[in-house]
Structure 1
Amino acid sequence: MYEYIIGKVVDVYEDCLIVENNNIGYKIYTSKYSLSNLDLKKDVKIYTYLNVREDGIFLFGFSSKEEMEMFELLLLVSKIGPKTAIGVLSTLSYNDIKLAILNNDVKVLCKAPGIGKKTANRIILELKDRIDDNIAVDNSFNFLDDNCIEEAINALMVLGYTKKEIDRVLFKIDTEDLDTEEIIKSALKRLSK
């Protein structure tokens, strides 16, 4: 029904954002990757998926067309709903998922919450023919880096920062080559601004 929404990001939460368009605030559930690409008070284009269930109407959205397409592909797999698909996309980039499917890599898919061996095998079986071989360059934040990020988050929360504040800052830091202490220092510099 809705292909995308262009509007101003007025708030960001752990699993969703509020986009204001024509004085209407849309609550859009999304992945950590899409949240990492957003800036408050800036206009964004969010590709959307409307999910109607008997317990409510939910809007899911993503900052890139590729992530949206992967979300829709994951929904084609039996027993995977929108929340599980969001969990997968919050843990693995769409390229990681593509590579895992193309390489029959069950182990990688099992890193996502709610995905066991049976479900991972089902994803591979049901999506292998639907995935193209082109892997785009993806410089997305890797949510599986190591325990340094987890330790940094816990330390910052002890210092009184909320998970929401910490997530916003961490998404803007290249943590790949940093240890826990360096991540904390970088985050504190941004949090104190």
Structure 2
Amino acid sequence: MYAFIEGKISGINPAEVVIDCHGVGYDISISVNTYSRIKDLETCRLLTHLAVKEDAMVLYGFASEDERQLFRQLISVSGVGAGTARLILSSLTPEEVTEAIILGNVPVLQRVKGIGGKTAQRIIIDLKDKLGKGQGFREILGSTHNTKKEEALSALSMLGFNKALAEKTIDKILKEEGTSLTVEQLIKHALRIL
């Protein structure tokens, strides 16, 4: 119904923003990610999604199309409502959520308050194929993943560790922690295990 709302920010907190659009104040629910991108602005343009329930109509706002699309994908999963989807996008960046889903990383999704193992698995099963095809994410993820992995593997080999064992360890860390770790963090995690 509303594609976007653009106007002056008349009130903002990490959960919602009020945008004055030609004298009409729109109360829009936002994620922490969107808040961090618009908190210092005087005016903004938010892409929106209107959620209609039996007892309320809630307007959700997003600073980027990627975040809005991910929100819409998340609410398409049985058992994930708009509030839960916003909580997921407040706890993790859209990139971290997409990465966790594509890699099947249940523990990352379970870090979000209120997301249990079954819900995390349902999100992964329902969205893995849909998100894996989108916007070349696999290529981006793969190149970052491989570069960090190769650098960490090279460093561990120079330190005298068995290459095959180091590679298994790095793969395990990347699967559990995701690719948001820096090369240094990856090496430190590996050294604790090796």
TM-score of the superposition, structure 2-length normalised?
Answer: 0.67
Report if the CA contact (8 A) 2:14-2:30 is conserved: no
Percent of aligned positions that are identical: 34
* Residue 111 (structure 1) aligns with: 111
**Match status 1:80 vs 2:83:** no
Aligned length: 137
Report if the CA contact (8 A) 1:10-1:41 is conserved: no
Any idea what the Cα deviations from partners look like across 1:86-107, whole Å, max 9, x if unmatched?
A: 0000001111011111111000
Relative to structure 2, which stretch is displaced further, 126-135 or 30-39?
126-135
**SS of the residue 2:59 aligns to:** strand
* Residue 47 (structure 1) aligns with: 47
Instruction: Give, in whole Å, the separation in 1 of the partners of 2:104 and 2:62.
Output: 26
Higher relative contact order (CA 8 A, sep 6+): 1
The 5 Å alignment of 1:119-158 reads 119-131=119-131, 132=134, 133-134=136-137
Report if the CA contact (8 A) 2:104-2:124 is conserved: yes
Q: Aligned letter for 1:134?
A: F
Instruction: Give, in whole Å, the separation in 1 of the partners of 2:105 and 2:124.
Output: 8
What do you get for the CA RMSD once the two structures are aligned?
Answer: 1.6
The 5 Å alignment of 1:51-70 reads 51-70=51-70
**Match status 1:27 vs 2:27:** yes
Relative to structure 2, which stretch is displaced further, 23-32 or 9-18?
9-18
Higher normalized helix content (fraction of residues): 2
**SS of the residue 2:38 aligns to:** coil
Instruction: Give, in whole Å, the separation in 2 of the partners of 1:67 and 1:44.
Output: 16
Report if the CA contact (8 A) 2:38-2:44 is conserved: yes
Q: Aligned letter for 1:3?
A: A
Instruction: Give, in whole Å, the separation in 2 of the partners of 1:42 and 1:34.
Output: 14
Q: CA deviation at 1:64?
A: 0.8
TM-score of the superposition, structure 1-length normalised?
Answer: 0.67
Any idea what the Cα deviations from partners look like across 1:41-65, whole Å, max 9, x if unmatched?
A: 6111101000111111110011111
Structure 1 segments unaligned to the other structure (5+ residues):
138-193
Report if the CA contact (8 A) 1:16-1:29 is conserved: yes
Report if the CA contact (8 A) 1:10-1:40 is conserved: no
Instruction: Give, in whole Å, the separation in 1 of the partners of 2:59 and 2:137.
Output: 28
Moved over 6 A (4+): none
